Structures are given as structure tokens and as C-alpha cells.
Amino acid sequence: MPTPFPALPDPALGDGPLATALAQGAGEVLLGLRADVDAAGGAFDAKPLKDAGDAAAQAWLAAAVAHARPGDAVLSEEAKDDAARTGADRVWIIDPLDGTREFAERAGDGAPTDPWRDDFAVHVALWVRGTDDATDGPGGLAAGAVALPARDVVHTTHAPASATDLDAAVAAVLAGDRPLRIAASRSRPPAFVAALAERDDVELVPMGSAGVKVVSVVDGTVDAYVHGGGQYEWDSAAPVAVALAAGHECTRLDGTPLEYNRQDPWLPDLFVCHPALAAHLRAALSEVGVEIKEGAQS
């Protein structure tokens, strides 16, 4: 019997707790699909499971947002983009399943008894017009949550971590006692990241989805995440909201501000770093040919 969907969230929740409830609920949907596979013997085809994950998480999130915030617009990876959202005052920016491949893979040799990979995420962010604390432009990220369902962890803006808790760890980088740890794609790191890896003072840490990479900066697993291959707004909005709430620096690679709820949701690149290391990393990026705007943040 298929695992039932979770209940829809309470409309009385504030935006921050609602973002958390939305991310958690979609995570429960995804874990339910995995549980159904295990209950059927553990063997599966990856493509149907990926498709089922995308569709089921999107269906629940669409119903949940319509229930809790019926007047809000939505930009989601798994739904048709309505251009009217650019004129809306409130837009939920959602990736129902960040790391589709990771969601549909087992660790180890991939045998039916091997554990599932845990490096996928659910992203839920809220953009509000006139909120400029998070981004420049006509609006900003007012709330966000990144759920890591297989780890039973949710990173949120309404109960954020603090970058200052990591100050002692990053001081070791500035003192030259350990390398700068940068989250990198397992399969397609950009050329400038490969160039950084040749430095003695940089260590690349391969990991899965974009959300996992950004929250790994927040929890101190790595010091930074830099991406140059292009992403969509739903890939970074919630992770960036969480990282900003924790006090980390989040910009374009060249230091210009990130902007969301744009007509074209494509974002060419991303820079997320502990603030005490931002200037250090920008200098390293400049040395490998990345253009940095004069007066860039940090």
C-alpha cells in the first residue's frame, strides 16, 4: 500500500515556520516513495523513481501553498512558469526535489539492501516585494527552508545557525593551518574550481545537490561553495536565504548582488562563503581568472 501524503500545513503559521513545514512535508512525501520501494523488495529503476519524486513532491507542495497562502504566486522547477508572478508581491520559489539523481541512488554498490544516498534536498523560499535585507532589487528573500529528508535535518531562516559559531574554524584557514574547504560537484566542477584545487591552500569536498552544498557552508562542513555553470532561481533561493540568515556572504561570483523573481529565472553563478573568508576566496578566484567587480562585497 503506498505511503499516504502528509497533512497540509496550518494556514495560521507565519511565513518562516510555513516554509519549514512545506519543506518537511515534501521531504516526507519523498521518503515515503523510498519506503514503498523498500517494502516491495528494494529493487527499482532509477528513472521512474526520479519522475515519481519530482511529481509527488510538486503535487503536495502545490496543494499545500494553495491551502496555506492562496493569494501567493509560485515559481517551481516542476510547474509551468506564470509570467504574472513578476508583478506579484509574494512569490514562493520552490525546488520540490533538488538532487533528483541522488534521491534515486543507493550508496555502495547499489544493491537492494544498500542504504539510500542522503544528499538530496527540498527547497522552499519566499520572495517578498520591498524586502531588501537579503538581496538588492525590487524585493528580497523573506523566508526559507532547506530540508535534508534522509538526514532528518531542516535548515531554516526563522531559527538560523550563526556564522560566528564557526569563527575559530575559519581562523585556522587565515592562519594557514588548514586549507580552505570548498564544496564541489562530484561530476561537473567548473574549470576555475579545478584550477583552485591545484593550490596547496584549497581542498575540494565533493558532494551532491546544490542545497546540500550551500547548507554545508552553514553547518561548517565546508567554508565556501562557488558555482559557475549556471543554475535557476529555485536551485539557490532557499539555500541562499538560509545562508544569509546565518550571516554568510551570498553574491554572484563577481561580487554583484543576487536578485530573485526575475522574468528570466536563470542565474549564471553563485558565491557562498563565511564572511571572514570572503576576501581571501575572492583573491584566489581572481588569481585563476574569475572577474571580480571593484568594490565587491567583503
Binding-site residues for Mg(2+) sit at 77, 95, 97-98, 235
Least Cα distance to 30 among 93, 95, 77 occurs for 95
- Grid coordinates given for 10: 496550518
CB 169 within 8 A of CB 130: no
Tell me the Ramachandran region of residue 143: left when phi exceeds 0, alpha when psi lies from -120 to 50, beta otherwise: beta
DSSP H or E stretch at residue 251? strand 249-251
d(CA 26, CA 130): 28
Residues 6+ apart with CB under 8 A from 106: 112, 114, 115, 116, 117
Least Cα distance to 82 among 99, 67, 64, 62 occurs for 62
d(CA 134, CA 16): 14
- The binding site comprises 77, 95, 97-98, 235
For 175, the 3-state DSSP assignment is coil
Least Cα distance to 66 among 123, 18, 16 occurs for 18
- Grid coordinates given for 152: 532528518
